[in-house]
Structure 1
Amino acid sequence: MPKDPPYPFHLCQPDVEKSCGACCGLYNLHDHSRATLEGFLQERASLFFALGRDPDLSLYRRSLAPPTPANPKLSEAIYNCEFLGFLDREKKRVGCLLHPSLHQGVNLREYSFYGPDLCAGHFCPSFTHLTKLEQEAVLTVLDDWYLYGLVITDIDLVKEFFRHVQDRLGESLHVERLVDSEAREALRAFFRLKEFWKFASTENRLGKYDFSHSEYQIARIEYEKNWKIKPPRFAKILLSLSSAFKTQEDILEAEYLIEEKIKNFTEAYLSASPLF
């Protein structure tokens, strides 16, 4: 991390409770469930740290389990870095096993696919597309690597949720109110839909992107073609949740579930202790 980061928060490694490895290909697998990712992150960390202070990186690479055909990459154009693993015994943070902070200042990232300059200098679109308020809200309520990475990189999900909330409030959100436990939990409950959405497609999807073709593209939900209806008010949120609907009743239920989460958060936020 640079001494003077050009953005208000370092979204990759924001604190000791969580981190994000999406740019390193963390979620670039057909099965990117928590259990699957936790398994290979732990395997990599165990293998790497067992090699001691001067790791033999060629031995490390040879020791890794080969990719399984049963769980292919979503996109061949995105590199899945083999040096992404858990950084701590508590399995709270994912990150680069070659980072100089783990090796007494020695930068081993020259052995990575992208090299040290790109790894150190890359900032994902969330740094610039999410406002300071939106970033801080996500950082305040999420405290686990898996959900944090899914949410902080889903720009549409975050921006659309807060747009609907602030339209109802008639004012900008005050992040300070998220110290209230009920407001914080209500926001966390919405974000958990990224992991537990009942209408999520199981076919080559990650958020709003469809990986069914050689190059990924934004998925389409054919509301007018399939059900003769206009896209619903929560269309961007539904797309970010990788939704796939079979019936119009499914769409109505999905809208109800989103509305419930927004309503619950708005009520909890308004009930929180005043700022002054």
Structure 2
Amino acid sequence: MPGGRVYGGQVLAQSVVAASRTLPAERAPHSMHGYFLRPGDASADITFSVDRIHDGRSFSTRRTQAYQSGVPIFSMIASFQDEDPGLEHQAPMPEGYPDPDELPDIEGEIVRAHPHSGRIFRERPVDVRHVPSPIYVDVDEPVARQAVWMRVKRALPDDAGTHRAALAYMSDMTIQESIMRAHGIAWTTPGLKVASLDHAMWWHRPARVDEWLLYVQESPSARGGRGLSNGRIYSRDGALVASVAQEVMVRVRQEAEPRR
């Protein structure tokens, strides 16, 4: 990340992988709740510690702590389940969104126009297409909702655990933006400070992250320097893949009042 910080979704996804390695492959994560405690230093190693909280006939619980320099930077508890038959329904995929192939590759255009300043987009492993438009420089319409099509830029192995972890990585991308968009705040706003506070995710159905996924996001509330954003991730054929909730710190530098 700019400034040498570790991207939060990376630590989140690695924590899920660390916990998964203490369980058989068929017992997969279905929910996680985590707190971002300190900024991660991209130049330093991260150590992951997993506690085996509970193992039942169908469910297991694990706690993962990510450490740098002896102090935790992220703490997560996750639940795992064997696949079971049962009731099934889902919220339908919203209609009216353009196909991802119809949307412009804004990030690719930034890289081509600004080969040095476009480094973050060139090196990001995920292709992102905003609906209606990105908020990198300005905000077209201040509304508390948005959607993005996303997929990783190269094919991944068929291992389901890899795709679940990569989906967790991707779930931390852009979810903050419905809060910012509601107030017309772009990423280039002077004095802007944004930091994820906590993150919850529920995996509903399997999906490939190297195929297009629609991430629908909305912010129901913001107050006291914090904003809440909810998200639903759908496969291209309309299956509800995952649900996400995140609370975010958003601070904007206030201009000094003119003297009277």
Fold match (TM-score > 0.5): no
Which TM bucket (shorter chain)? under 0.3
More helix by share: 1
More strand by share: 2
- Normalising by structure 2, report the TM-score: 0.27
Q: Pick the structure with greater CA Rg.
A: 1
